Structure 1
Amino acid sequence: MKEFNNTYLIMRHGQSEANVADIVVSDPANGCSKYGLSEMGKHQAREAALAVSNQNVDLIYCSDFKRTKETADIVAQVLSVEPVTDARLRERFFGQYEGKSSASYDEVWKKDALDSDQTEMGVESTTSVRRRAVAFVAELEQLFFGKVILLVSHGDTLQILSSAFHDIESGQHRTLPHHETGEVKTLAKAGSSKNREFTL
């Protein structure tokens, strides 16, 4: 099986004002200009940056939402790497749940587990999220070799992306360990074999 050209680290944004308000903010019309990091979120971003400072991060890519851009900017200050935004790392769109309580996530996740293609209430399907996120990583594989690349994104987007690296259906993303705010995980290491689910 083909091996990865690069090492990929994935980071969820630090605690955001939306997290504190306990509301869903997934519409770019809201998330790109509002609901940045809380003070706790800024602290989490700094701590995460220090934690990965020995991993020689070459490139940082982030969602264009305010909370991810602010996270990436803080990390960039520590690592001296200029972040680049890409809409394919955006939050999953939660449709009619926009602005509602974060408790809505559980309702959506239960439906995901039954059908990876479900779009009830205008929600973006896990199949769609995985397709755009995997396509982005595949593009980076074509562009770079031997790089350590940090992807700063959102909880659902990262867990759904991770599902492709664990050979599970995208709708089963919640069976993977929860990705905490500000947490950094390794998605794939250069030289490791790609699994069959990664290829588009």
Structure 2
Amino acid sequence: MRTIYAVTHPEATHHVEGVVGGWHDSRLTPAGLSAAASIAQALRTQIPDGAEVELFSSDLRRTRQTAEKVAELFDVEAILDRRLREKSYGEAGGRPQEWLDRRFVPPPAVGERLEHDEGVEGAETKAVWARRIYAAMDEILRRPCEHQIIVTHGGSLTFVVASWIKMPIESVGHASFRAPSGSITTLREDDFFHNRQVVSLGDTRHLDSAEAG
């Protein structure tokens, strides 16, 4: 049985500064660092002691910082993969969100959505974004490890899940699996039917308990 734990990084500076994330290399806030420790603890309670664990992470600083908390608890080294990054917003990255909002051209309700030009210089299309996440997932899933942790971003989680359930890329134009920052999504494939389950999407109970403490 294979289980994947897909983590969306917790609060980062771009969240509180009101600027566009994407490839802007923001860092975790103090609250985000505390949440990252809670994520690591939650994963530790779900994964059996002594089980082999692999850890993969986007190479941006906010995801690296999250992965470092997990790595410390599991005594593993994170495998950094730039393909697990958030969508690139091109020249909008790091600018005020309202700057992007004034220029953003939303995709049409019908028609071409994957190759849609959002009107921002250098921004990735949804097709480019999806293909790189799918490629990263293909490599991760070729590895035989039964417990794999993937630290990524809120937007990119859609394509992690879509890839997991084998949704064809040409069908993801309308797909959106949204989850809060600092969440854990659990994906599992059984050894008998080889069905790929989405056991939980965007679980944040570990953050609630941390705040209560």
Question: Percent identity over the alignment?
Answer: 23
Higher mean alpha-carbon deviation, 10-19 vs 129-138, is at 129-138
Matches within 5 A, 1:71-110: 71-102=66-97, 104=100, 110=106
> Is 1:54 aligned to residue 53 of structure 2?
no
Partner amino acid, structure 2, of 1:181: S
Q: Are the equivalent residues in 2 in contact too, given 1:95–1:123 (CA < 8 A)?
A: yes
The partner residue of 1:116 within 114, 117, 128 is: 114
Cα gap change, 1:166/1:110 in structure 2, threshold over 3 Å: closer, same or farther?
farther
Query: Which residue in the other structure is 1:7 paired with?
Result: 3
Where does residue 131 of structure 2 map in the other structure? 131
Runs of 5+ unmatched residues, structure 2 = 198-213
Bigger radius of gyration: 2
CA contact (8 A) 2:11 2:182 kept: yes
Contact residue 105 and residue 117 of structure 2 kept, 8 A: no
Instruction: Note closer, same or farther for the CA distance 1:149–1:190 as it changes in structure 2 (3 Å cut).
Output: farther
- Once residues 187 and 58 of structure 1 are traced to their aligned partners in structure 2, the CA distance between those partners, rounded to angstroms, is 15
Using the size of structure 2 for normalisation, the TM-score is 0.74
Q: Which amino acid aligns with 1:82?
A: E
- Residue 206 of structure 2 corresponds to none
State the secondary structure of the residue aligned to 1:11: strand
The alpha carbon displacement at 1:51 in A equals 1.1
- Which structure exhibits the higher relative contact order, with contacts defined as CA atoms closer than 8 Å and separated by 6 or more residues? 1
Check whether the contact 1:41–1:181 (CA below 8 A) recurs between aligned residues.
no
Gaps of 5+ in 1: 196-200
Query: In the TM superposition, what is the alpha-carbon distance from 1:180 to its structure 2 partner?
Result: 1.1
